Chain A
Amino acid sequence: MSGAAAAPLGKDLLGLEPLTAEQITLILDTAEPFKEISERAIKKVPTLRGATIVNLFFEASTRTRVSFEFAEKRLSADTVNVGSTGSSVQKGETLVDTARNLEAMRIDMVVIRHGASGAAQFLADRIESNVINAGDGTHEHPTQGLLDLLTLRDRFKRLDGLKVCIVGDVLHSRVARSNIWGLKKVGAEVAVCGPRSLLPNAIDELEVEVFDRVEDAIEWADALNVLRLQLERMQGGYIPSLREYNRVFGVSRERLERAPRDLVILHPGPMNRGVEIDSDVADGPFSVILDQVTNGVAVRMAVLYLLSGGRPELAEAAKSGGGR
């Protein structure tokens, strides 16, 4: 049998802001052995056999939804996908009613992606099942933050003291927030860089360094996390044009070649090639963009595993000989 029991995470994973450094490290450490499962001939362990997980995706997503689904299936959970189109959400059902109805079918966990900040918290407060935030509005995307941390830790063998600059559309980015909170908790130095119109007004409250020139960010950083320009969230007027954005803030090979060290490049995807990142950088030797995707499955398996446990009522039932 394995050694000591892990420190509990609580019922839900809503963001990295409420977690402690120990809890974040626990998730990253737990993700390590899960990487190996995806390398096996039979990529499946029986850990969540019998558990039912609903993926409630109210916003478009390929990577995150597929990644969660792989993570769930590789742990042998039964999964159901619900989107906003083709479901009763279209008929005007509220989020809570949707979730309560699903819960009445005896589900164990809900993974939710929603356009409104705070949607995951709202749901978590109202249902018994574990809730995992897969992105809520411009608030947090904790599993993306965790997989970025894991990818950086793989590369640098440490996170403490690491200098990470988040470049681009910080204003609309839940990935940026999860990264900032997560990285700072584990001792990394964090900066942001982008046009002022795409940085939050309250950027000072996040206590990060701000670079107005991407050249300065490149000179300072060990790693760049290049954010996607969220064209669908731009109600106009944030930047003059995509071409100008690329010319001023685009991460290009020419800019990186002037850096004092080789920078590791992350991008949460989907990429706008030729806008925030040039193709020869995205596909270059210091890009860890595909490692991020691979690590995403392992991190999500770790979160599912850690949240699924710690149900004292089941342990009590087992001790008293009742229940299962």
Chain B
Amino acid sequence: MPAKQSTVLDARMVDRTLRRMADEIVELNAGTDDLIIVGIQRRGVQLAARIVSSIAEREKAKVPLGALDITLYRDDLQTVGPRPVVGPTNIPADVDGRAVVIVDDVLYTGRTVRAALDELADFGRPKRIALAVLIDRGGRELPIQPDIVGKRVECAPGQRIDVLVEELDERDAVVLSDREESA
């Protein structure tokens, strides 16, 4: 049965939100010095790339862009059944002493961010790690909070929220569906 869907953000709103988040990241960091932006696989990577190009436009500064796949750091690997696909991880610069901003599409339980923090620690010791998410849907299971939020959305546990990006889904949007599709 197709789930009932509603659009939370359309393409233009996504674009505007990401631009505002880019400005907030620069403001939080008091400039672009020592900044590294790291997207979480998969859709966080595309969002991070948009943020980096927005910063390039506004600040005339090229901020290193990285990608992090947290699959191997998940806390549920023993129980998820067939192995999830592992995507590429690429940290472009030494993170020691630099300010890392993790970018993800949706913040929910906080378990993905926990895994990302553990993985980043294996690359070095940043002077500071911040978290920027396009959507915060609440429902945390760990003491993790975002520093920069695109939009907060109240979601019931049975609902799911999906961020679509043009590179992978042919359009930019954020969609709320009534039913949790079985994975």
**Using a CB–CB distance below 8 Å, which chain A residues touch chain B?**
1-8, 29-30, 32-34, 36-37, 40-42, 44-47, 50, 75, 305-306, 308-312, 314-315, 317-318, 324
A-chain residues with CB within 8 Å of residue B89 when the two chains form the complex:
33, 36-37
Q: Which residues of A contact B181 (CB under 8 A)?
A: none
Complex: how many Å from CA A5 to CA B84? 4
Q: How many residues of B contact A (CB 8 A)?
A: 30
**Contacts between chains A and B (CB distance < 8 A), count:** 94
Partner of B81 from the list A4, A5, A41 (CB cut-off 8 Å) is A5
B122 touches A34 (CB 8 A): no
B94 to A: closest C-beta gap in Å: 9
Taking A1-B112, A42-B122 as known contacts, 20 extra A-B pairs with beta carbons closer than 8 A to each other, sorted by chain A number, are A1-B84, A2-B42, A2-B70, A2-B71, A2-B86, A5-B183, A6-B84, A30-B83, A30-B85, A32-B88, A33-B69, A37-B89, A40-B123, A42-B123, A46-B73, A47-B77, A305-B72, A308-B83, A309-B77, A314-B79
Dominant secondary structure of chain B at its interface with chain A? loop
List of A residues within 8 angstroms of B112 by Cβ: 1
Beyond A36-B90, A315-B79, A318-B79, whether A6 also contacts B85 by CB under 8 A is yes
Is B122 a contact partner of A40 (Cβ separation < 8 A)?
Answer: yes
Query: Which of chain B's residues have a CB closer than 8 A to the CB of A46?
Result: 72-73, 118
Contacts of B71 in A (CB 8 A): 1-2
Q: Is the CB of B84 within 8 A of A2?
A: yes
Residue B46 lies at the interface, judged by CB distance under 8 Å to chain A: no
Measured CB to CB, the residues of B under 8 A from A are 41-42, 69-74, 76-90, 112, 118-119, 122-124, 183
- Contact across chains for A33 and B81 when beta carbons are under 8 A apart: no
CB distance from A302 to the nearest CB of B (A): 8
A315 to B83, CA, bound (A): 12
Given A33-B69, A33-B88, A47-B72, are A6 and B79 neighbors across the interface (CB < 8 Å)?
Answer: no
Residue with the greatest number of chain A CB neighbours at <10 A, chosen from B81, B90, B118: B81
A309, B82: Cβ atoms under 8 Å? Answer: yes
B114 to chain A, nearest CB (A): 12
Residues A309 and B72 in contact, CB atoms below 8 Å apart: no
Q: Is the CB of B81 within 8 A of A310?
A: yes
- A2 & B69 in contact (Cβ 8 Å cutoff): yes
Partner of B41, one of A2, A8, A29, A317: A2
Given A40-B123, A41-B123, A46-B118: A5 and B78 within 8 A (CB)?
Answer: no
Interfacial chain B residues near A50, Cβ < 8 Å: 78
